[in-house]
Amino acid sequence: MKRGSGSKAGRERRAASAVRVMCIAARCLAGLSLGAAALPKAAAPAALAAAIRSYGLLPAALANPAAIVLPWVELACAAALLAGRRYRAAGALTACALFASFALAALAARAGPGAQPCGCFGPAYSLQAGSAQHLAVNLVLGAAALLAYACAAGRVTAVRPTQSG
């Protein structure tokens, strides 16, 4: 049986597999993180509203609406990234926007007085707002969401070379 065109085809297949694995890993990382962050936040909206208020980035009147809606936006993104195909790119793009906002909030908290829990994964697991770890987590997850978007929107493809024989 003859496959592809020798070593070039093999390299292309390996590259395609690597891209596919990266896309799936990025999608799972972003989706699972959002899902894990959303559930405890949805369970304690008052605590989330307090956390949002403590950042001081939104007008106080918007803290409660944001606390009510944010966990569900995160859940919708997680579902779109992990389970959906049609809405995968939309979920990934929204996740990019979320992580970018969170990174900006981390930067703002870094400039502030600090010593506040970030509220990222609900009150149970909270990094210190504005810490290097807080910023790094959001940047890494934002990069994963961006890669997931590029894959889902067809900007990065993992097409296997055509096989002959």
CA atoms within 13 A on the CB side of 96: 14
Query: Which DSSP letter does residue 153 get?
Result: T
Smallest distance from other proteins to CB 133, Å: 13
Smallest distance from other proteins to CB 122, Å: 6
Please report, as a single letter, which amino acid is at residue 141.
L
Smallest distance from other proteins to CB 136, Å: 18
Nearer to other proteins, 47 or 135 (CB): 47
With beta carbons less than 8 A apart as the criterion, state whether 129 and 114 touch: yes
User: Residue 116 to residues 40, 46, 84, 163: CA-CA distances in angstroms?
Assistant: 18, 16, 36, 57
Nearer to other proteins, 116 or 140 (CB): 116
Q: Would you state the structure tokens that stand for residue 146, as one six-digit string?
A: 């961006």
Nearer to other proteins, 2 or 85 (CB): 85
Report the alpha-carbon distance of residue 86 to residue 7 in Å, rounded. 35
Contact residues toward other proteins (CB under 8 A) are 12, 15-16, 19, 40, 42-47, 49-51, 53-54, 60-61, 63-65, 67-69, 71-73, 75-77, 80, 86-87, 89-91, 93-94, 115-117, 122-126, 128, 152-162
